Each structure stands twice: as structure tokens, then as C-alpha cells.
Structure 1
Amino acid sequence: MGILAGKAVVVTGAAQGLGRAFAMHAAEAGAAVVVNDVDEPLVAQVAELITVMGGKAVVCAGPVQDPGTAEAVVDTCTAAFGRIDGLVNNAGIRHQARVGEDDPAAVRELIEVNVLGTLYCTSAAVRSMRGGSIVNLGSVAMVGQPTAVAYSASKGAIASITAGCAAELADTGTRVNAVCPVAWTRMAAADTRAVPSGPPEAIAPLVTYLLSDLAGGVTGQLIRFANGRLHVIGQASPLEPVVEREHWDVGAIADAFEHRLRLEDPARVRWGR
């Protein structure tokens, strides 16, 4: 009996890469899994492999940025397994482009998949969940990453969704967290700045833990897991010192910026995706 025995979970973007690893590991831990992806033949192979291994899996293919698909993945889970206990919002896309050179259609698609897909699936899931766990896929790119501004914006939104949902759903017993992983996937390979790293399977135990009752006290967290290093990322907070005056004018503000405030270095983070 695994730590997810008796639980039913949905994993989006599960045809390959991180999503496939998350679905496989959850099934190995005893969960019944609904696997979703736009690539129906490939995600069907994942479900078949889980079944051959002795697990339970069903497919619900389609794009998560379609609210109908979001409802369908949850309905499939409750119809097949009688409940939904977990949701992994893994589906996402990325593209590289310099500021001013982004294709508007590509930007729209990225925001719809990464942000709206997460929102739609979360909304559908919480209407049927009784407690349980939602795991979003974040990224340290949320602090801003050159040539990936649209992607960075989408992951900043994921951080906000995670924090907001965790606070709002706390009294229902539903936990919401985000993992910010580094693994060598097809998406990582498309990032010209990415450094080769470990396989997606190395990240899967963290997601399984967050889906399990072992993580009962963990919610609202952004969790970084990369190259054997695990830590929590602090939410946005003021940088000391905080300068106070009874009256502010342009000169006083200029003096504060020149002499008193500590400024962030916009190039401070180079952590990959």
C-alpha cells in the first residue's frame, strides 16, 4: 500500500516529461490517475503503461485552456474513481523571444495554456474536492528572465494563483502549493540558457509528497527543487530599510533612492526555468 492508496488524482500535460513522471510516480504510490494531454495517442500510452504495471489510469485528452476540457478531466476522475483528491496543474508551454519580437499569437497561446489552464482546472477541481491537494507548476523565471518575458509573466501568475487559492481554500482543508523544478525535458531543451540537469523522475517524489497526507501542514508554498537541492522560495516582501517621512517631495524621494533605499539587481537570478 503506497502513500497515495485510495486517492484519485488528475495530472495535466502528462504525455511526456514532468507530467508523465508525476503520473507514473503517483500511480506507483497507489493513486488512481486521470492523465490529460493534447497528444491523445501519447498520453494513452502512459495510461496503458500504468495499467500494465498494475495501477489504475484513464485518459481525458484535450487542451486545458478550454474550460470544457477542465470540467471533463474532473468529471472523468469522479466518474471513473468516485472522487478527486488531487490535481497537478502541469500542462504548460514555453517559447523564447526578445522583447518586441514576440509573436502575439504565441504569447496569447502561452498565457492561455499556462495561466488560464491552471485557473480553469483548479476551479473545476475545487467544486468536487473535499480537502485534498493541488500542485501547480511554477518557475523561478517568475522573477523575470531575458528572452522569456511572456513565460516569466505566466509563472508570476502561477505564484499569485497558488498564494491566493491557498488562503481562500484553507478552511476547506484543500492545500495548494507550487513546485519550481529544474529537469531536462523537451521544454528545457528549448531554453537556450538552460543547463542540462537531472531527469523528470527526480522531481516526482516531491509532487507525490505534496499530494499525500504526509504534507498535511504544507500549503501556500513555492518550493524549489533542482539538482538535489530543496528549499522554499520567499514570497514578495519589502527590502529593508523602509524609509518614512511625514512629507514627501521629489527631492526627498530622489534622496531616498540615491542614499537610503536598497535596490534589487534586475540581473540577480540565473537559475534556469
Structure 2
Amino acid sequence: MGLLQGRAVVITGAGRGLGEAYAMHSAQAGASVVVNDIDVELAEQVAERIRTFGGTAVASGHNVADPEQAAQLTEVCVTEFGRIDGLVNNAGLNYETAPWDDDVARIRATVEVNLLGTIYCGTAAMRAMREQGTGGSIVNISSGAFFGQRKLATYSATKGAVASLTLSWALDLETSGIRVNAVCPVAHTRMVWASERSLRSIPAELSPSRVAPLVLFLLSDSAEGITGQIVRMKGRQLHLVGQPYFKQPVLERENWDPHSVERAFYGVFQAHLEPFGLEKRVPPRLQELMEPSLPA
């Protein structure tokens, strides 16, 4: 019996790349799958391949950025398979640009698909899962880019929001038996091929299929009790992403003014400034402290 035998799942952006891998592996594990992609022909091709090897799948061309269409995805799953047990919020857009050259239309589209699409699909699915009363699993696809990455500001912002959303949903749904986790996958996909990053940071051997077992685990009952986690997978590497926290020292003062804030930064905080971005860029002030002083 497969890991997802008897379960029904919706996977968005499943016409190619990571989403296709999640759909194929879920079906092979016994799940009935709604294969969603705004390119419905690609979705149908994946669904047909699943049916060819004896799996169960239907294709959907619903647009996750439209709240009504996103809700219909859950309706399709319940109508076709009688239930919904899992959702993988994989649909996403990405592009590279310097932030001062960013285009309003592309910004809006990226936010609508990556963030609003995740919200629309997730809230519809959790309503149905709560009504069923049998629990379920939502897997949101985030990215390590939310740490900060050059020329990916809008994308990074949406993926940071997805990570935060995951933590809030996990809190809201823990009494409903619905687990919510996020995956930060690193894989060689069409989204990366179109990017210059593919030439310097994404090894060609990183197949989307390498990430699928993590998503299958999080969808399954084997992950019972695992919720509110952000997990990164890159080839051989599997690790948790640390949660944000309030850093020590915490300074207290009855009233803060610009001068006392300045003294706090240059008298105390300068030794505790955080490197930023995936490349761990060091702030200039911290760099000064790290440089050895020259002998007189």
C-alpha cells in the first residue's frame, strides 16, 4: 500500500518541473491527484501519464490568482474524489531584475500568483478539510530566497510572506488536525533555466524528483505532529530553516530619542549586526570591527 493510498490531493503549478514531480510521485504513492496548471494542456499531459500507469488524476486549468477559480480547485477535488486530504501550493512566478528597473505589471502578477494564490487555495482547502473533520496537510512552497537574493526582490518578498503565512496557519489549524509546513526546494527547473543563476548556483544534476519524497512525507500520516516547519532540500542536503527570533541584547530606556538610538547602535549593537542575504553580506560597520587593527 502506498504512502498516500486513498488520499486526494491538489497540486498547483503541476504541468512541469517541481509540480509535475510532486504530482507523479503522489499518484505513484496511491493518491488521487488534481493536476493544476494555468497551461491546461500541460496539466492534461501530466494527468494522462498518471492514468497510463494506472493512477488516478484529473487536470485543471484554474488560475490560482483568481479567488473564485482557486476555490474551485478544492471543489473539483471533492467532486471527483469525494474528499480533499492534501494541498501543495506550488504555482509560482519568478524573474530577475534590478529593483529600480522593476515593472509594475510583473510585480503585481508575481504577488498575485505566489502569495495571493497560496492564500486563496489554502483557505479554500482548509475550509473543506475542517468540514470533513479528518485533518489534512498543506505544503506551501517557499524559497531560501526569502533570506534576500540579488535581483529577486519581489520573488523573495513573496516567498518570505509564504513562510510567515505557513507559521500563522500552523497555529490557527493545530486544533483542527491540519498540518501546515513549507518546503524550500532547490532544483533545476524551467524557472531556473531562464535565469542567469542557473550558470552559477544551481547544479544541473538537481532533478525535481529529488525533492518529491520530502513533499510526499509531509502530505502523509507519517508526518503526524510535524507542523509549522520550514524545510529546505538541495540535492543530498535536507535541513530545517531556523525561525526568526528577537536577538539579545535587549536595551531598555524610558524614552528613546534619535541620539540615544544612535548611542545604542554604535555603543552596543554594532558588535551584533547581522550578515544579510543568502550570501551573508556583512554590513560595513561590522566589517570595520572584524578588520584587524594595524600596529602603530
* Counterparts in 2 of 1:51 and 1:268: CA distance versus 1, 3 Å: closer
In structure 2, relative to structure 1, the CA distance for the partners of 1:127 and 1:252 (3 Å cut) is: same
Alignment of 1:134 with 2:147, yes or no, is: no
1:44 is matched with which residue? Answer: 44
**Normalized per residue, which structure has more helix?**
2
> 1:222 matched to which residue of 2?
230
Q: Does 1:103 align with 2:109?
A: no
Of 190-199 and 51-60, more deviation after overlay is shown by 190-199
> Within 2, Cα distance between the matches of 1:269 and 1:122?
32
Q: Does 1:266 align with 2:276?
A: yes
String of CA shifts for 1:71-102, please: whole Å, max 9, x gaps. 22111111111000000000001011101101
Instruction: Provide, for residues 14-71 of structure 1, a one-character-per-residue CA deviation record: whole Å limited to 9, x for no partner.
Output: 0000000000001111111001001111110100000111110011112110112212
Q: Could you tell me how far apart the structure 2 residues matched to 1:94 and 1:248 are?
A: 41
> Which SS does the other structure have where 2:245 is aligned?
coil
Name the structure 2 match of 1:255.
263
Given candidates 207, 228, 253, the residue that maps to 1:199 is 207
Opposite residue 189 of structure 1, the aligned amino acid is: W
CA displacement 1:169-222 (0-9 Å, x = unmatched):
111000000000100001122232342330000000000000000001110111
Match of residue 292 from structure 2:
none
Unaligned 5+ residue runs, structure 1? none
Paired with 1:247 and 1:62, the residues of 2 have a C-alpha distance of: 53
Letter in 2 for 1:196: I
Mapped partners of 2:255, 2:93: distance in 1: 48
Pick the aligned partner of 1:244 from 252, 263, 269: 252
Checking the alignment, whether the CA contact within 8 Å between 2:11 and 2:19 is kept in structure 1 is: yes
Matched, 1:158 2:162: yes
Provide the rounded CA distance (Å) in 2 between the counterparts of 1:248 and 1:74.
51
Identical pairs, percent: 50
**Aligned partners of 1:6, 1:267: CA distance in 2, in Å?**
42
**Letter in structure 2 aligned against 1:151:** Y
Change in Cα spacing, 1:248 to 1:66, as seen in structure 2 (3 Å) is: closer
Q: Which amino acid aligns with 2:64?
A: V
- Superposed displacement of residue 240, structure 1: 2.3
- Given that 1:35 and 1:58 are in contact with CA atoms closer than 8 Å, whether structure 2 keeps it comes out as yes
Query: What is the Cα deviation at residue 5 of structure 1?
Result: 0.4
Letter of the 1:103 counterpart: D
TM-score (structure 1 length as normaliser): 0.95
Root-mean-square deviation (CA, aligned residues, Å) is 1.3
TM-score under structure 2 length normalisation: 0.88
Q: 2:144 touches 2:278 (CA, 8 Å); kept in 1?
A: no
Change (3 A) 1:110 1:185: same
Gaps of 5+ in 2: 281-296
State whether structure 2 residue 177 is matched by structure 1 residue 173.
yes
Q: Which residue of 1 aligns with 2:240?
A: 232
Whole-angstrom distance in 1 between the partners of 2:196 and 2:151: 9
Number of residue pairs matched by the alignment: 270
- Look up the match of 1:121: 121
Residue 101 of structure 2 aligns to a residue whose secondary structure is: coil
Q: Using the TM superposition, give the Cα deviation of residue 258 of structure 1 relative to its aligned residue in structure 2, in angstroms.
A: 1.1
Q: Contact 1:243 / 1:260 at 8 angstroms: preserved in 2?
A: no
Larger gyration radius, structure 1 or structure 2: 2
CA contact (8 A) 1:12 1:36 kept: yes
Kept in 2, the 8 Å contact 1:134–1:175? The answer is yes
| Equivalent AA in structure 2 for residue 257 of structure 1 | F
Structure 2 counterpart of 1:190, one-letter code = A
Q: Quick check: 203-212 or 124-133, which moved more?
A: 124-133
Q: What is residue 53 of structure 1 aligned with on the other side? A: 53
**C-alpha separation in 1, matches of 2:248 and 2:52:** 56
Rounded to whole Å, the distance in 2 between the matches of 1:25 and 1:80 is 20
1:115 alignment partner, SS class: helix
